[in-house]
């Protein structure tokens, strides 16, 4: 294993099956890289909750998930979206193993509170990661496709932010790279794309308001991964089948690479 790359796919990062066909091609062309996928699915969750007559409420950028909501959220993430991604990759020649944070205790959580100390309902904060199920799949040349739905010690399901799940798992599985594939090209300061940032530089851009909105929450997951000794974290758009190779060889990866310090290159 020369590279172990965790790819976190946002809900709109790929446009239908074609994007996953390209991803499958890239995976097959780079057999030296072990790949793990963690996915979200916020837009489809919102649609399913709306169809069920449930109101979507966000606090601190996180979806409040009530008892009436968690079964719907789990069905969308661990069922519909997880199966679709695995099926598309499998149809294009990549052996997949479907799982969630509940699989063999992959991610254990406790209830998350708002910054003001209020309940978020069934939203979980990761307190423990046991990556063995993921490592077993990789050892059998299977690509883990992971929904972030996880359990607490009492086996209650919780909704977990997919960025946070990706960061925690990347650290626990000793990944060489964590890649957030998004619908934005990277971190832009002024009018320029930032090809490389240190944690200190990123924190300065947050403090002065250059990095704002949803990107701030994503950066918190970036910092968590780097603190967990993941060497490199990327925020990029998918740029076709050659994207994975460029990550493997660290060759002009499109987007933004964040490092813990200027010396971690």
Chain segment 159-203, per-residue pLDDT in tens: 999 999 999 999 999 999 999 999 888 998 878 899 999 999 999
Determine which of 25-34, 56-65, 98-107 has the lowest per-residue pLDDT on average: 56-65
Strand partners, 96: 143
Distance CA 54, CA 47 (A): 10
Q: Which of 256, 202, 260, 251 is nearest to 231 (CA)?
A: 260
Distance CA 100, CA 28 (A): 24
List the Cα angle 11/62/122 in 5-degree steps.
105
Q: How high is the pLDDT of residue 76?
A: 96
Asked if pLDDT for residue 15 goes beyond 80, the answer is: no
List the Cα angle 107/57/49 in 5-degree steps.
75
Whether residue 11 contacts residue 226, with contact meaning beta carbons closer than 8 Å, is answered with no
Strand partners, 235: 180, 256
Whether the pTM exceeds 0.85: the reply is: yes
For residue 38, how many other CB atoms are within 10 A of its CB?
27
DSSP helix/strand/coil, 110: strand
Distance CA 137, CA 97 (A): 7
Q: How high is the pLDDT of residue 217?
A: 87
Give the model's confidence band at 7: pLDDT under 50 very low, under 70 low, under 90 confident, else very high. very high
């Amino acid at each position: 294993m020369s590279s172990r790359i965790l790819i976190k796919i946002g809900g709109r990062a790929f446009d239908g099956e074609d994007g996953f066909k390209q991803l499958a091609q890239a995976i097959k062309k780079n057999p030296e890289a072990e790949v793990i996928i963690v996915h979200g699915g916020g837009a489809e969750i919102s649609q399913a909750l709306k169809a069920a007559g449930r109101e979507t409420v966000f606090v601190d950028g996180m979806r409040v998930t009530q008892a009436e909501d968690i079964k719907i959220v789990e069905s969308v993430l661990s069922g519909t979206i997880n199966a679709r991604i695995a099926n598309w990759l499998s149809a294009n020649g990549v052996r997949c193993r479907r799982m969630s944070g509940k699989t063999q205790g992959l991610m254990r959580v406790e209830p998350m509170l708002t910054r003001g100390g209020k309940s978020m309902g069934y939203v979980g904060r990761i307190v423990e990661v046991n990556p063995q199920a993921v490592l077993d799949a990789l050892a059998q040349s299977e690509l883990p496709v992971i929904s972030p739905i996880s359990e607490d010690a009492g086996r209650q399901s919780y909704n977990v932010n997919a960025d946070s799940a990706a960061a925690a798992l990347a650290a626990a599985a000793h990944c060489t790279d964590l890649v957030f594939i998004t619908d934005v090209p990277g971190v832009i300061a002024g009018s320029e794309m930032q090809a490389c940032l240190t944690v200190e530089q990123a924190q300065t851009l947050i403090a002065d308001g250059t990095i704002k909105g949803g990107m701030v929450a994503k950066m918190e997951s970036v910092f968590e991964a780097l603190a967990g000794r993941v060497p490199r974290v990327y925020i990029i758009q998918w740029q076709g089948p050659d994207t994975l190779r460029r990550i493997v060889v660290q060759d002009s990866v499109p987007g933004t690479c964040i490092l813990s310090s200027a010396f971690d290159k």
